[in-house]
Structure 1
Amino acid sequence: MADHKIGEMDVETQEKTFDGFMSWVTWSVVVILVLLVGMAIFIS
């Protein structure tokens, strides 16, 4: 088994995946908040 060396692994793919996930979560929260505010204004 190879020795593990900290900081030598290429993490570009993981960083792109995490950035995409965070972008998706941010937009999802924005959409949910807009829907909730719209429901509070127009339904009640």
Structure 2
Amino acid sequence: MADHKHGEMDIEVQEKTFQGFLTLSARAAIAVIVALILLALINA
């Protein structure tokens, strides 16, 4: 078995996946906030 050397693994795919997750989470949070504001305005 090869010795593990810190920092040699290619993590480009994992970084892109995580960045996509963060983008999706932020957009979903904004969509929920906008929906709540619209519901509050319509109900008023």
TM-score (norm. length: structure 1): 0.92
TM-score (norm. length: structure 2): 0.92
Partner of 1:41: 41
Percent identity of paired positions between Structure 1 and Structure 2: 45
List gaps (5 residues or longer) in structure 2.
none
List gaps (5 residues or longer) in structure 1.
none
RMSD: 0.7
Q: How many residues align?
A: 44
Matches of 1:11 and 1:19 in 2, distance apart?
A: 12
Partner of 1:5: 5
